[in-house]
Homo-oligomer: A and B are copies of this chain.
Amino acid sequence: MSQTVDRALSILPLLAEGPADLGQVADRLGVHKSTALRLLRTLHEHGFVYRQSDQRYRLGARLFALAQEAVENLDVREIAHPHLVRLNEECGHTVHLAVYEENEVLYIDKVESRYPVRMYSRIGKPVAITVAAVAKLLLADLPEAERRAVAEKLDYPTYTSRSTPNAPAFLKELAKVREQGWATDLGGHEESINCVAAPIRGTDGRVVAAMSVSAPNVVVTADELLTLLPSVRRTADAVSREYSGRTPAPDTV
C-alpha cells in the first residue's frame, strides 16, 4: 500500500535469515544502495535493526522487546499460564498454548516437560498447521467459507507417513475435530511424537486458543497419552470459564 514502508518492512524478514550488508539488502529489495541505506537508517533509529562491528546489519533489540511486550499483553496467555503449569505438574509432559492468526498458528506459551527426552518446539514458531492437534482445533472453528479457503491454500508437506496428505483429508479431519471437541496428532509431524489437545473458548463460544500435551512415545505410548484427555479438557474448560468471565468484549485472540 505504501511503497516506502513496504520496502522497509521487507528488510526485516530478510535480516531475520542472518546479518546482511548494505549491498545485499539493496539487491534483494531491488532498489538503489542509497535508498536501502536510508531505509536502514530509519529502522536503525527505531532500534529495529542493529549495526554490528563489521558494519553488517541484523535485527535489533527493540524488536525483541516489543514482541515480548506484545505477547505478554495477550489476555488468554496470562489467564492460561497457571493452568498450564498445573497440568504440567500433574502429568509431567510438555504443555503448549497456541492461537490462530492470519493463516498461521503459533505457540504463545509453553511449559517444558519434566522428562529428559523432550519434544522440540519454541514459542513464537509457526506450528505445522496441517498436522498439529492445536491447529486442527483452531481451524475447525473457523466459519465454513474461510475454513475451506484456508485449507485450499495450504501446503501439505508429508512430514511422516501419517501426515495429512491434502485439503479434502484435512477438511474431513477438521469436521471430525469440530464434532468431538478435541484433537490429536499421532505421529503426523514427528514419527515418534503424539499430542492431545483441547480448545479454549470465549464468551461467544468461539475458539480463541488451544492447548495441548505432547510426549514422545519412548516416554508414553499414544494410548497412555490419550488417558490424559480428560484432564486436558478439564484444564481447557477451566481456562475458558475464567477467560469468558474476565473479558467483557470478546476479542479474536
Instruction: Give residues in A with beta carbon < 8 Å to B.
Output: 1-2, 4-6, 8-10, 12-13, 15-16, 18-19, 38-39, 41-43, 45-48, 50, 52-54, 58-73, 99, 101-102, 104, 106, 108, 122-126, 249-253
Contact = CB atoms under 8 A, between A and B. Distances in A.
Contacts of A64: 67, 70-71, 106, 108, 124
Contacts of A15: 70
Contact of A102 (B42, B50, B59, B66): B50
A95 B70 CA distance: 24
Contacts of A8: 2, 5, 8-9
A5 B124 contact: no
A71 B60 CA distance: 9
A101 B72 CA distance: 22
Contact of A68 (B45, B60, B67, B73): B67
